[in-house]
Amino acid sequence: MELIRDCNLLRGQYAGAALAVGNFDGVHLGHRRILSEAVAAARDAGAPAAVFTFEPHPAAILHPEKAPPRILGFRQKLDLLEGAGIDVVVCPQDGHEILGLDAETFVRRVIVDGIGAALIVEGHDFRFGCRQRGDEAMLRRMGAEHGFSVRIAEAVTFGDRPISSTRIREAVRAGAVGDAMKMLGRPFEFDGVVAHGHGRGRGLGYPTINIAGGDFLVPGDGVYAGRAVLPSGTFAAAISVGRAPTFHDLDRSVVEAFLLDFEGQAYDQEVRLQFVARLREQRTFTDGRALSRQIGDDCRAVHAVLGQAI
C-alpha cells in the first residue's frame, strides 16, 4: 500500500480511483462497508482503491482540548486499511491547510486535480470541508460538474442504530467491551509499552505487566478477559483498569495485566492488549490474600471466556 503525506505531490496519478474520505478512527464495521464498496468498484474498473484521511483526528489538529481519545494508532489504522484492500492512502503531514479549505476547493484540489477519482464512496452522515459545510448534495452536484460519481453506502447498525466511532468510545468508556467488539468486528485494542510498576502483583503470586499508553481510549475501570500481544507471542490475560483500590495510593487509573502461561519479563517492549469481555468491577479487598484468591478466580474466568470468544 502506498502512503502519500504531501498533497502537493498529487498530480492526478490515480485517475479512475474509487475514493473514500474520512477519519476512519476504529475502522469499524460501518467503515469497512464503505471500504469494501470502494475496493469492489476499483477492482471492477481496474483502478486503485484510495482513502483520504487525517492523522491525528481533525479535532486534535484544530481544537486539541476538545479532541476525543483515539481508538486506533496511526500504524494500526494503516494496517487495517491495507487489510481491507486499499491501495493508496493520502494523509497530509500537516492537516491545517487542507482542513481550512472550503468544500468546493477541497473537491477540486484534492479529489479532482490531485487524485483524479472517478467514484466517491461515503457514509450516510458524511460531511466535509471547512466547518463541515460540504454534504452529499454538494458532492453530487460537483460530481456532475467534474465527472465523478457518488455512492452512499448503507449504514451498518448495532442495536437498531448506526455504528459510529462515537458509540464505540462510549461503549469502551462504560466497560462494555463486548458491545465495542461487535461494532468493531474485532476486540477493542489498547497499545502501549511495558513499564515498571510497584511489584505488588509479584508479591501476590501474580506478576503483572504495567502498560503506559499514549492519547488512546482507555476502558472504564474494571477487570477484563483478553489477550496480550508481545513480540514473543500472544498470551491470555486478566487485565485490570483502575486505581488499585485495595492499596489506596493511586491517584489515576492504570492498566496492568497478568499474562497466563507467560514467563520472563517484558519491560520496555511494545504490547497490544485485546479486551474481549468485562469480568467484574474493581473492588476493595480486606488483604492481599483475599485479592490473590480473587485473581485466581479471574484467571479461571479468562480461560472460560476465551474458550468461547471469536
DSSP assignments along 22-85, one per residue? S--TT--HHHHHHHHHHHHHHHHHT--EEEE--SS-HHHHH-GGGPPPBSS-HHHHHHHHHHTT
- pTM of the prediction? 0.90
Question: Which of 221, 226, 209 lies closest to 284, judged by CA?
Answer: 221
In angstroms, how far apart are the furthest CA atoms of the chain? 73
d(CA 84, CA 51): 11
Domains in the chain and their CATH numbers? 2-158 (3.40.50.620), 187-308 (2.40.30.30)
Question: Which of 194, 12, 203 lies closest to 114, judged by CA?
Answer: 12
Q: Which three cell numbers stand for residue 76?
A: 494500526
Digitized pLDDT (tens) for each residue of the chain, 310 residues in all: 999 999 989 999 999 999 999 999 999 999 999 999 999 999 999 999 999 999 888 888 888 888 889 999 999 999 999 999 999 999 999 888 899 999 999 999 999 999 999 999 999 889 988 878 889 999 999 999 999 999 999 999 999 999 999 999 999 999 999 999 999 999 999 999 998 765 555 545 577 888 987 678 999 999 999 999 999 999 999 999 987 655 455 556 789 999 998 887 888 899 999 999 999 998 887 777 888 888 899 999 999 999 866 4
What residues pair up with 216 in beta bridges, in sequence order?
A: 70
Sign of CA dihedral 76, 278, 238, 201: positive
